[in-house]
Amino acid sequence: MKKRIFIHEVVTRDGLQIEPQWIPTERKIELVDALSQTGLAKIEVTSFVSAKAIPNLRDAEEVMAGIRRNPDVDYVALIANARGAERAMAAKADEVNLVASVSETHNRANMRRATGASFAGFVEMMPLLKSGGVRVNGALATSFGCPFEGDVPAQRVMDLVGQYVEMGVDSITLADTTGMAHPAQVAALCAKVLERWPGLQVALHFHNTRGMGLANVLAGLNAGVERFEGCLGGLGGCPFAPGATGNVCSEDVVHMLQSMGYDTGVDLDRLLAVARRLGAVVGHDLPGQVVKAGKISDLHPRPAELV
Ligand code: COA
Ligand code: ZN
């Protein structure tokens, strides 16, 4: 039996939030609908945040209302405050993704408040979310380093995971906002978290800013993590983190894991077909590799002189 690994797609949230030009609502809906047919476990569709902070996702309600849902997929929305929780619940998100940063400076840049204030808000929101039956994921941005503060102590990450667990989240995500994680660090932190909370569902969210994205996925995998977030085409980035660049590329992650003998549940050819159309949606070239090179099983004709 192949080991099952779950892939969470974030392109219409992390991917589109940093795109400078407006992406029409219809294109977003088409993208989610196509991704819904590829075998992904979760799709983070959008965020219910301030339209001033993230103008490209100001159509969150319309996108959520317009998508055709596959019952096998969990449709996730990122939120930062109570207003976002109400909007996400009205839009019938299956899961909300609470986000706060481990680093105070990034939390202030991104959310305009102290990390403690973000958490205090989450604690207040939990009864409403629980009564509405929505799953709650707790994400920690800058878990592996902060573009303003540098090193982030592992103990601080552990404390904040503990706060999420205590308030009753269903799962957590450790996010490397600007690609500062390295594989040894990922292995150590994941081992710590899984040892302290053995039943906890943990996902990893990496950016490939320094070329360590797939190596970090592998380090997390070897530490026992079964869920990875990725972004189609390798788009993505936080507009409030200087130097942010794309997430690990979903189709490259799936291609690597399948080549290694893991069951990702994803139909790679279908995912690649959606990735091939993404450049036209955003109007520029994408960092994804497999879509350009082809799968390792896609061979070329032999040189004529050898035939
Ligand atoms: N949905 C829609 N609008 C919202 C909102 C929400 N969840 N929360 C706040 N707003 C609006 C307010 O109505 C206000 O609008 P106005 O200026 O027209 O009156 C404006 O946003 C500012 O609201 P305020 O409560 O003063 O918030 P703030 O300026 O302190 O910003 C956040 C705090 C959290 C709302 C804002 O920083 C934000 O949305 N950040 C999200 C960043 C993000 O998504 N980053 C990438 C993902 S990690
Ligand atoms: Zn991200």
The pLDDT value recorded for residue 293 is 97
In one-letter notation, the amino acid at residue 11 is V
Residue percentage of the chain with pLDDT more than 70? 100
The pLDDT value recorded for residue 287 is 97
The pLDDT value recorded for residue 182 is 98
pTM (2 decimals)?
A: 0.98
231 is known as an active-site residue: no
In one-letter notation, the amino acid at residue 52 is K
Minimal-distance CA residue to ligand 1 atom 24 = 50
The pLDDT value recorded for residue 307 is 85
Q: For ligand 1, say whether the CB of 97 is within 6 Å of any of its atoms.
A: no
Minimal-distance CA residue to ligand 1 atom 10 = 50
The pLDDT value recorded for residue 303 is 96
Task: Give per-residue burial for 102-135: e unless 16+ CB within 10 Å, then b.
Answer: bbbebbbbbbebebeebbebbeebeeebeeeebb
pLDDT along the chain (307 residues), means of 10: 97 97 98 98 98 98 98 98 98 98 98 98 98 98 98 98 98 98 98 97 98 98 98 97 97 98 98 98 98 97 93
Of ligand 1's listed atoms, the one at least distance from the Cα of 83 is: 7
